[in-house]
Amino acid sequence: MRTKFEVGDRVRWNSEAGRVSGRIVKVHTKNVDYKGYTHHATADEPQYEIKSDKTDHIAMHKAAALHKIVRRARRASTTPHRHRFSS
């Protein structure tokens, strides 16, 4: 089963220029015309509209081309903070 993504998910994908990351802004479940091309989409295989983090460029991809970016929780420091003050 392929991963289903939701609006707001952070994802990455490979482009001609290398890896790109962005946020899903819309999920298309019907065919959509974009930049002179019909992107085929169904409820079972939607197209995801993604806004690039760096350039604000909009891209359209199916789930097979996307990888979800999972934000890891920050670890709490186990060492106490020691401050040295000069006199």
pLDDT tens-digit series, residues 2-59:
678 999 999 999 988 889 999 999 999 999 999 899 999 999 999 999 999 999 899 9
C-beta neighbour count of 64 within 10 angstroms: 9
Taking the alpha carbons of 62, 6, 73, 58 in that order, is the dihedral positive or negative? positive
Report the pLDDT value the prediction gives residue 71, as an integer from 0 to 100: 79
Round to whole Å and give the CA distance between 86 and 10.
45
pTM of the entire structure?
Answer: 0.77
At residue 23, φ and ψ (nearest 5 deg) are -120, 135
Taking the alpha carbons of 45, 46, 48, 49 in that order, is the dihedral positive or negative? positive
